[in-house]
Amino acid sequence: MNDAEMTSEDGGSEASTEAPNPEDFDPNSEVYWTLPMVLAWIVYRDSGEVRQMWDQYRSRCMDDAGTATVSLLHIAFLVNEDERSIAMSPAKAERALLGTLAVGSIAAWGIPLDGELRVEIPESEWADFGFFEGTGSRDEVRAGPFGHGYHSVLLKSRAVRQAWPAIQPPVPFSYEIDELERLPLFQAVIWCATGGAETTNEEVEQLGYISQGEKILFPLLARGNIAATGERPGDLIREDIPKSFWERAASERADDLIHFVDYTRDGIEPFGATAMRWHSIKIEFSALRSEIFPHASPDARTVSGQKRRRRKGGQIASVLEIIKDEFPDGLTGSISNRAVNERIKKRLSPETSPKSIQRAIGEARSGQEGH
C-alpha cells in the first residue's frame, strides 16, 4: 500500500462560489478516512457529520474552510452540543479509537514524523499514543509531546463503520386492535404497563414492562373484570377463557408463570400440562381501557370501530403536519422517535392516541425514504 492509493486526506480542488451538493460527496464511498472523519463517525454515527470533516468537501464549500482537525471537531461539538444526537463525546471517542487500535481490531496507516512513506502503524504502539496537534495544525499521534509518532493517519472507512455501527432509530411498539376492539394478550400486557403511552421494542425488553403489565392485567382477568378469549389448538373456534385459569397467573408465583404464559403464540397452558389449552388470546380492549382509565367519558369507550378508524386517520394527518412544521429538513436517522415525540407533544390534541403518533412518525420516515 502506497501514498498514491491513500488520497482520502488530500482536498485538492479549488473552492467554489456555490455550495456543493452533499449527495455528490458521500464519505461512505471513500476507502480511507482521516482521523477527524473517523472520530466524527464515532461521535455522531452520521455520514453528514463525517462530510463536514472531509477536506475535499470543505474545500468546495468556502475559501477559508481550512483543514479539518481533531481540535476542530471538539470545538464544533461544544458549539452544537445541544442540537445534535450523539453516541458519545469526542473525548470518549478518542479513548475508544485508541483502545480498539491497541488490541488490533482495526488497522491504521500513517507517515512517521521522521519519515516520508506511509506505513501500517504497529498495534503495540497505540497503547502509548495520544492525539496531538503538530506544525501547521497537523493532526499527529505520538507517545507523549516529544515522543515518536505519525501524522496523516488513515483508517479504512468500512472497518470503522463495522466497529462502531450506525445507530438505528428505535422501533415503535405497535398495538393492533382488531375490528371487535380486542387486543392480543402480549400487547395488552404492555398497554397496561405503559397506560397506552408510546414506547419502543427496545424499552419493552429493557424496562421490565412485561412483569409490570402482568401484575396489572392478570388480577383484572382473575376477577372477571375483563373478558379474554382464545382458540383451542386444532380448531378455529374462539371461546371465553374462564377466570379461574387466570387466578394462578395472578398469584405472583414466578415459577408458575414460566409454564403458564407463552407470549410467542399469545397462549396459555394449564399448570403441569404439556399441551397448550388456548392460543391467539385476545383481551377485550374497551373493558381494559375502562379499568385503567375509569373516569374516561362513555363516548370515548363506546366509539365504533369505523368511527375510530376515521378519527385515527385524521389524527395521523394532523400529526404529520406538525412533524413537517417542526422538522422542515425531515427526520434523519439520528433523530429518535422519543426526540420527535418530545418536540411535538405540546402541539398535539389531548385526544391524539399514541398509536396515531407512532404511525405518523413512521409515515414521515418512510416518505423521506421514497424521495
Tell me how far apart the alpha carbons of residues 286 and 302 are, in angstroms, rounded to a whole number.
7
What is the grid cell recorded at 22? 452533499
Is 220 strand, coil or helix?
helix
**Radius of gyration (C-alpha) of the chain in whole angstroms:** 28
- pTM (whole model) above 0.85: no
Separation of CA 137 from chain center: 36
Q: Report residue 31's pLDDT band, with 50, 70 and 90 as the boundaries.
A: very high
Closest CA to 158 of 92, 107, 94: 107
Element (H, E) at 140: strand 139-142
Tell me how far apart the alpha carbons of residues 221 and 242 are, in angstroms, rounded to a whole number.
9
* Residue 250: predicted pLDDT: 63
* Residue 18: predicted pLDDT: 66
Q: Report residue 327's pLDDT band, with 50, 70 and 90 as the boundaries.
A: confident
Domain boundaries, given as residue ranges, for the chain: 3-163, 184-194+201-300, 305-369
Q: How many CB atoms lie within 10 A of CB 105?
A: 12
Q: How many CB atoms lie within 10 A of CB 213?
A: 20
* Residue 1: predicted pLDDT: 52
Tens of pLDDT along 225-262?
A: 898 998 888 777 889 988 887 876 666 554 444 446 77
Tell me how far apart the alpha carbons of residues 358 and 198 are, in angstroms, rounded to a whole number.
7
* Residue 279: predicted pLDDT: 85
Q: How many CB atoms lie within 10 A of CB 320?
A: 17
Tell me how far apart the alpha carbons of residues 150 and 279 are, in angstroms, rounded to a whole number.
64
Tens of pLDDT along 135-187?
A: 888 999 999 989 999 999 999 999 999 999 988 777 888 888 888 889 999 99
Tell me how far apart the alpha carbons of residues 327 and 360 are, in angstroms, rounded to a whole number.
13
Q: How many CB atoms lie within 10 A of CB 148?
A: 13
Top mean-pLDDT range of 135-139, 153-157, 272-276, 343-347: 153-157
- Three-state SS sequence of 270-293: CCCCCCCCEEEEEEEHHHHHHHHC
Closest CA to 167 of 105, 52, 85, 97: 85
